[in-house]
Structure 1
Amino acid sequence: MASRFTELVIDCHDPRGLARFWSAVLGYQIIDERPDLVEIAAWEPTAEAVRAAPQPPTIIFAKVPEGKVVKNRLHLDVSPIDVSRDEEVERLIVLGARRVDVGQGDDVSWVVLADPEGNEFCVLRTLAPQPRP
């Protein structure tokens, strides 16, 4: 058997605040909370489910003392499923995201945002059915 990708860990100053932001972005819920660590997921992991098939990883927000210094080497991409990309960008800005320029240029199909702690992520094309021209 192979290993499974079960968690993605994001270092931060405010695990609870960042977990609330990303839970709202992704429709996840908090499944574990400790003073310096908060875990969110779309499902409740069990050994049986993980053995049966790959599942979406949970996301853990871990408190660290140092701040973010440079552009992320790893980032999340999200795709809206019910609205347009631009409508989703506006929703995420209301939640606390902000637009950032990481050198992506103007002629790209995605939008780069940063979460409340400055971690970059991209909003890609919508997966919602689009009217045919």
Structure 2
Amino acid sequence: MTSRFTELVIDCHDPERLAAFWCEVLDFTVIDRSEGRVEIGSWTPTVEEVRARQMSPTLQFIQVPEGKVVKNRLHLDVSPIDGSTEDEVTRLLGLGATKTDVGQGADRSWVVMADPEGNEFDVLRTLAPEN
């Protein structure tokens, strides 16, 4: 008996806004939505595909009344695939992210950022091919 990691749920005030932000960050699309909920992903899951192999999880943004209070205990890490880490940080700032300090110190190979609702995530080293 086994399970699959199929989705990551993120509580937020504005699911549409956060889903739009993360679609731009990850090149995902909206695959489902209902009142107070938006699901995004790189593929549309089917039961058969999920049962056959481990696939990338989708992200679900669920509207909740309370705000974020403390540092996340779970966060996303993203790796640029076609540019430098610095270029990706600049792009994400333009999308509405902010740089943030969670006590990581100055000499780190990653950049800690927050999405438009303050959820922390890390931008890691680039995976872009070297020229």
CA deviation after TM superposition for structure 1 residue 130, in Å: 2.2
Counterpart secondary structure, 2:88: helix
Counterpart secondary structure, 1:59: strand
Counterpart secondary structure, 1:93: helix
Counterpart secondary structure, 2:107: coil
CA shift digits 1:23-42 (9 cap, x unpaired): 00000000011121000000
Query: Letter of the aligned partner of 1:113 in structure 2?
Result: M
Distance 1:98 1:64 in 2: 22
Counterpart secondary structure, 2:32: strand
Matched ranges for 1:1-133 at <5 A: 1-131=1-131
| Number of matched pairs | 131
Distance 1:110 1:35 in 2: 36
Percent of aligned pairs with the same residue? 66
Tell me, which stretches of 5 or more residues in structure 1 are unaligned? Answer: none
Query: Letter of the aligned partner of 1:125 in structure 2?
Result: R
CA deviation after TM superposition for structure 1 residue 48, in Å: 1.0
Distance 1:66 1:118 in 2: 13
CA shift digits 1:83-127 (9 cap, x unpaired): 000000000000000000111111100000000000000000000
Tell me, which stretches of 5 or more residues in structure 2 are unaligned? Answer: none
